[in-house]
Amino acid sequence: MSTEKAYALSLDEQDSLKDFRNEFYVSEDKIYFDGNSLGLLSKRAEKSVHTLMDSWKKHAIDGWSDGAHPWFYLSENLGKLSANLIGAKPEEVIVTGSTTTNLHQLISSFFKPQGEKTKILADELNFPSDIYALKSQLQLKGLNPENHLVQVKSKNGNTLETQDIIDLITDEIAIIVLPAVLYRSGQILDMETLTKEAHERNILIGFDLCHSIGSIPHSLTDWEVDFAFWCTYKHLNGGPGSVGGLFVNEKHFDISPGLAGWFGSAKDKQFDLEHEFSAARNAGAFQIGTPHVLSAAPLIGSLEIFQEAGISRIRRKSLQLTKYLMELIDAELADYGFSIANPKDDEIRGAHVFLEHPEAARICKALKADGVIPDFRNPNGIRLAPVALYNTFAEVWQMVQILKTIMMEERYKEYDNKRGVIA
């Protein structure tokens, strides 16, 4: 590996995904490495929003059945477009709700505490919203979260060990909810092994795919994962507040949704408007209310791009980008107190690099002032996410040079070492 810019440019020249950068609104004045928080707007996503707005303008109420993308079937059709990203059957996927509302729906549907099986197994590194939802669901069942939420401990504060999780899958556990990729360190959990271990103990297991969908391949159906849920505004580039998604393994299609709503009805029965709920025989049963059509619209264009690019090629380039970034950090920033806290092994590294530094908050501010958009994570973390569809190897090289200059000249000292209102 060379530290010269020419090497980065040669990697870009060989990149089979390089033309997809033209699909996105990329600022030439900034290096955007925060796509694991909010992906950039694509021109196709913008177009699909206008298409849905136009269907409202032209068809009014008939937009539910007419136009290029009838709203009545939009959630199902987006589910079909998402299915190959998670290794699922089209009927097992629905685009609906949000990350947390979908988790509430899934836990209310599948968490059935009985006898000694009354506990939920999670982890201490998961995004807080998941933990809030799990505690809330326990309380709704009259169970004290302090006693009934079991959280796997991390030995180093950044990663989890598979065996530590397995050791806590006891006879008291009724259901397991874990992230596919840890949001801070980017560690990929061994979903296949954990699912097998859970099922050997007659325990259901589901995964939060917020940081994995669109960045790594999955095989949820083949692994026999019971359920999953995710947002679409990170690697899927669906826009701020875009509609979430969920997966339910077809073996559970006979389970009644815990939070029933009219859009979970079988399509041919929905407008009979009967008070007896006739649930759809697919993941659509777990919808609650009317689809958020305009918030789902960007995904039409965004998911088309993923169909063309292919998740395997995306993953291959993502690994190359993050490996190159780590190699440059080791070569250029070794004297400035950074430590790489994400896994270095390709098999368990997600799509971002996680740096730790005592001055992380002020370093992030200095980077933003110099045109680099990172992501600060309290108390000392810097997430850098070069995204395969629109970031380049040259940007990785340039970012490291900017960061090196900031550290050499101690320009980060111009800023307070505390996060802003939004990190």
- Per-position pLDDT tens, the chain of length 423: 799 999 999 999 999 999 999 999 999 999 999 999 999 999 999 999 999 999 999 999 999 999 999 999 999 999 999 999 999 999 999 999 999 999 999 999 999 999 999 999 999 999 999 999 999 999 999 999 999 999 999 999 999 999 999 999 999 999 999 999 999 999 999 999 999 999 999 999 999 999 999 999 999 999 999 999 999 999 999 999 999 999 999 999 999 999 999 999 999 999 999 999 999 999 999 999 999 999 999 999 999 999 999 999 999 999 999 999 999 999 999 999 999 999 999 999 999 999 999 999 999 999 999 999 999 999 999 999 999 999 999 999 999 999 999 999 999 999 998 877 776
| CATH number, domain with residue 210 | 3.40.640.10
* 130 in a labelled binding site: yes
**Does 227 map to a domain?**
yes
298 and 338 share a domain?
A: no
**Does 38 map to a domain?**
no
Q: Which domain holds residue 352?
A: 5-32+310-414
**Does 37 map to a domain?**
no
186 and 280 share a domain?
A: yes
* 290 in a labelled binding site: yes
Closest by CA to 227, choosing from 235, 218, 236, is 218
126 and 77 share a domain?
A: yes
Domain boundary among 308, 327, 352: 308
Question: How many domains is the chain partitioned into structurally?
Answer: 2
Q: Which two tokens stand for residue 254?
A: 């006979």
Alpha carbon distance 375, 384 (integer Å):
7
Domain boundary among 263, 293, 308: 308
Domain boundary among 308, 339, 366: 308
Alpha carbon distance 159, 153 (integer Å):
9
Is the pTM of the predicted complex or chain greater than 0.85? yes
197 and 340 share a domain?
A: no
**Does 419 map to a domain?**
no
180 and 326 share a domain?
A: no
264 and 168 share a domain?
A: yes
Residues 6 or more apart whose CB falls under 8 angstroms from that of 181 comprise 187, 188, 189, 209, 210, 211, 212, 215, 216, 350, 351
* 262 in a labelled binding site: yes
254 and 133 share a domain?
A: yes
* 233 in a labelled binding site: yes
* 208 in a labelled binding site: yes
